[in-house]
Amino acid sequence: MNALDFLNSRRSLPARQLGEPGPSAEQLENLLSAAIRVPDHGKLMPFRLLLIRGDARVRLGERLAEIHRQKEPEIAESALTKDRERYTFAPLIVAVIARIDAQHPKVPPQEQLLSAGCVAYNLLLGAGALGFGAQWLTGWAAYDSDAAALLGLSPQERIIAFVHIGTGHEEAPQRLRPGLADVVSEWRA
């Protein structure tokens, strides 16, 4: 398979369909090293990675369910169950965190944010290249200040993605992709 065939075959595998085994220590080091090779104007490294695995996945789900209940006392128990279980399927979740210097004199915040987004995408591609399934998720916890505090984020940081990585138990579903005519145009002066 050539590189374009690989890109054309990329699909996300739902986190609920991911399980053990996850990447070995060597695979994880290689994956993370490749993931951070992204465009980075100013060499700011406007990102960091937070690994969530083992029993920490269960504890994260429990704590997020507590936060959710405090914010929405009338929330349905099924939503809290989803919060508790969300991080328990894949053996590895990588939280991709953008570190934004909003006052940087040369590099706009958008470029910093996009650099972190490229890290998340590289994790998806790298996981696939290693034979694992992966899914980029956010959910309410990615945008919540109490969840950010729980995960140890500073005020200038934000979660870009929770990338779930593991071995797929089913084939990744196909979805309709846009045709080039729907998204490509040519500028003419």
- Proportion of the chain above pLDDT 70, given as a percent: 100
What is the average per-residue pLDDT within 19-47? Answer: 97
Contact 46, 99 (CB under 8 A): yes
Q: Which of 5-19, 108-122, 138-152 has the lowest mean pLDDT?
A: 5-19
Global pTM reads 0.94
Q: Which helix (H) or strand (E) holds 130?
A: none
User: Measuring CA to CA, which residue among 117, 146, 143, 95 is closest to residue 46?
Assistant: 117
* Residue 172 pLDDT > 90: no
Instruction: List the domain boundaries for the chain.
Output: 12-166
- For the domain made up of 12-166, the CATH class stated in words is alpha beta
* Residue 169 pLDDT > 90: no
